[in-house]
Amino acid sequence: MIIRKYIHTLLLFVPLCSFGQSKQERTTTTYPQNYFRNPLDIPIFLAGNFGECRPGHFHSGIDIKTKGEENQPVHAAADGYISRIKMEKGGFGHGIYITHPNGYTTLYAHLNSFAPAIQQYVKSKQYEKQRWDVDLQFSPEQFPVKKGQLIAWSGNTGASTAPHLHFEIRNSKTEHPLNPELFGLPIVDEIAPVVKEVTIYSGNIYETTPTFVTLKKTENLYKPLKTGATDKINKDTVSITTSGTLGIGINADDFMNGSDNSLTFYTAKLYMDNNIQSQITLDDIGYDVTRYINAYADYKTKELHKKWSQCLFQLPGNKLNGIFSQMNANNGKIDVSDGNVHKIEVILTDDKNNESRISFYVKPTIEKQDKATLNSTVFQAGKVNSYKDQNISFILDETELYDDINFNIKENAYTGAYSNKYSVHYPYVPLHHYFDLMIKPEKPVPFALRSKMVLMYSDGKDDEGKAAVSSDNGWYKAAVRNFGTYWLAIDTIPPVIKSFVKSGANLSKASQILFTVKDEITSIKTFNGYIDNKWVCFEQHGSSFFYKFDEHCSKGKHELVFKAEDENGNATSYSLTFIR
């Protein structure tokens, strides 16, 4: 089939919105010192710190190690009241929020359980709502707390891969997470950031291949390990071809005393010929802009080479203005259009003012035009872009792209589904939020199967994501937020439930009962457990679903029924008897 293309780039210019500080000289915020205590009874050793690059977001707090164990006592970091408790299968898992009278809110996440009175209240609300994933708000009178008061025990719930306590300090008014290490917490760190590599971008970040420069530490400076330069005076010179401007990125880790986990730096300053070009400060990043991590860090390099290159310049569609300051006229890119050799320096500091310096020279060869943008269909950042042919259609709004791309789409025949496969550009180019992707089937869909249609997705790796779709005048539509390969298929397969106990088992000494539930095509949308026809609180952690025996299960023989349904309405149930 020949695809008839109709590609539109609407000439809609949208002014860049500012979030937080301006891009000029920053005003340093003074935070209260020693107001907040260590929330644990053990010394603070970090597994992660504020501003670290994570998939799809900046890390919003500090991860405090708990000796590789769960159930460490967790205490209120200061006087205040519990203002919110949220229980979710991913994210923070079991989380407590405490609002303090000085204008800050602290968050304690990935908890196992709460102090008894809090735990009992949460459970009562779960049974009242008949769901375990609740989001509860509290008044100041309900659960006031004093500094040091026991509020919970640490755990490994939510999107956690090892036991630890995630701790945040937020501005209560803006709800922005702030850097907890700026509040005088007892953290010992005498180790400067360790720089591994500089990345030099001589063109569009998605359409050209950057130059990776491995560094070595020489005396007190990081310099290129090898450049191939023959200039004896400037032996640390990197030759580069460019149209006139260069972007600089860094791949660096920070460390603290007593922990081998990698962290991130606090500030980065870029200089050319001793003149500052840009500064990054990781101290205040709101959840409303955290996804701009995909514009701040080089997403393509992360996807293709598995390493983080943090850009000291701002892409056209990156509205994360709050972390940037002292930016030059090129939004942090350096102007080398004169063709001369220029000295480049980067100064990194961590939260404890430990400093590392990078120094090298660039020798540009000026090329008048970026050949990568010629003879292609260009989708432009800051504009509305759309694609439509007879079988696939979508619109990207003006905030979707971070930089221009030479858009590419391919259609491949696929007889094993209800549509052909559509490779919509490349998975290594990020998109900022969800958009509606519409595909029309290649063959008629039986009426009984129309509610079972599903949009399949592949990023070219082993994993595939899927989404249920809705019908729209002969088209099938789903909200997606990735480029990659899509096609339509049918999902009539219900979830598979497996039990870890046999029917009739004596569970009088057991603390819980556990099932695993997996769905082959989509994901579990709803689940419920009933003992003797009465709802009991099952909790989800990944593909595991468990009920901790409580007062809702008395001694004696019982019948348990567990039900699960996927996104396409395919349902199944599992029943057994047991003795308590």
Mean pLDDT of the region 278-287? 96
Going by pLDDT thresholds of 50, 70 and 90, the confidence category of residue 376 is low
DSSP code of 274? T
At 487-516, the pLDDT tens digits run 999 999 999 999 989 999 999 999 999 999
Whether 443 shows a pLDDT value over 50: the answer reads yes
- Residues, the chain: 580
Q: Diameter of the chain by CA atoms?
A: 87
List the Cα angle 324/109/73 in 5-degree steps: 130
Long-range contacts (CB closer than 8 Å, 24 or more residues apart) made by 297-305: 297/53, 298/199, 298/201, 298/205, 298/210, 298/249, 299/428, 299/429, 299/430, 300/205, 300/206, 300/428, 300/429, 301/199, 301/210, 301/249, 303/427, 303/428, 304/428
The structure tokens listed for 532 are 């003797």
Rounded CA gap, 176 and 202, in Å? 34
Are the C-beta atoms of 105 and 97 separated by less than 8 Å?
A: yes
Whether 372 shows a pLDDT value over 70: the answer reads no
CATH 2.60.40.10 domain residues, the chain: 496-579
Beta pairing partners, 358 = 222, 346
Reference 400, options 375, 424, 373, 364; nearest CA is: 424
Percentage of the chain beyond pLDDT 90 is 85
| pLDDT confidence of residue 466 | 87
Going by pLDDT thresholds of 50, 70 and 90, the confidence category of residue 232 is low
Strands 221-224, 355-366: pairing kind: parallel
In the three-class reduction of DSSP (H, G, I as helix; E, B as strand; rest coil), residue 564 is classed as strand
**Fold category of 496-579 in CATH:** Immunoglobulin-like (2.60.40)
Q: Which CATH number fits domain 6-12+375-490: 2.60.220.30, 3.40.718.10, 1.10.357.10, 3.40.50.620?
A: 2.60.220.30
| pLDDT confidence of residue 226 | 77
CATH 2.60.220.30 domain residues, the chain: 6-12+375-490
Q: Return the higher-pLDDT residue of 62 and 375.
A: 62
| pLDDT confidence of residue 13 | 32
Reference 469, options 393, 570, 395, 567; nearest CA is: 567
Q: In angstroms, how far is CA 48 from the centroid of its own chain? A: 14
Rounded CA gap, 110 and 135, in Å? 15
Dihedral sign computed on CA atoms, order 437, 440, 444, 447: positive
| pLDDT confidence of residue 405 | 96
| pLDDT confidence of residue 26 | 60
Whether 17 shows a pLDDT value over 70: the answer reads no
Rounded CA gap, 137 and 452, in Å? 37
Strands 94-99, 104-114: pairing kind: antiparallel
Rounded CA gap, 79 and 149, in Å? 9
At 159-194, the pLDDT tens digits run 999 999 999 999 999 999 999 999 999 999 999 999
Domain made up of 46-183: CATH architecture: Distorted Sandwich (2.70)
| pLDDT confidence of residue 227 | 64
Q: Hey, how many other C-beta atoms are within 10 angstroms of the C-beta on 448?
A: 8
DSSP code of 127? H
Going by pLDDT thresholds of 50, 70 and 90, the confidence category of residue 29 is confident
At 57-81, the pLDDT tens digits run 999 999 999 999 999 999 999 999 9
Rounded CA gap, 121 and 134, in Å? 12
Going by pLDDT thresholds of 50, 70 and 90, the confidence category of residue 24 is low
CATH 2.70.70.10 domain residues, the chain: 46-183
Rounded CA gap, 360 and 272, in Å? 10
Going by pLDDT thresholds of 50, 70 and 90, the confidence category of residue 8 is very low
Residue environment code for 509-546, b if the CB has 16+ CB neighbours within 10 A, otherwise e? eeeebbbebebebbebbebbbbbeeeebbbbbeeeebb
At 519-563, the pLDDT tens digits run 999 999 999 999 999 999 999 999 999 999 999 999 999 999 999
The structure tokens listed for 308 are 């983080």
| pLDDT confidence of residue 415 | 86
Dihedral sign computed on CA atoms, order 31, 37, 39, 44: positive
Which helix or strand (DSSP H or E) is residue 304 part of?
helix 299-305
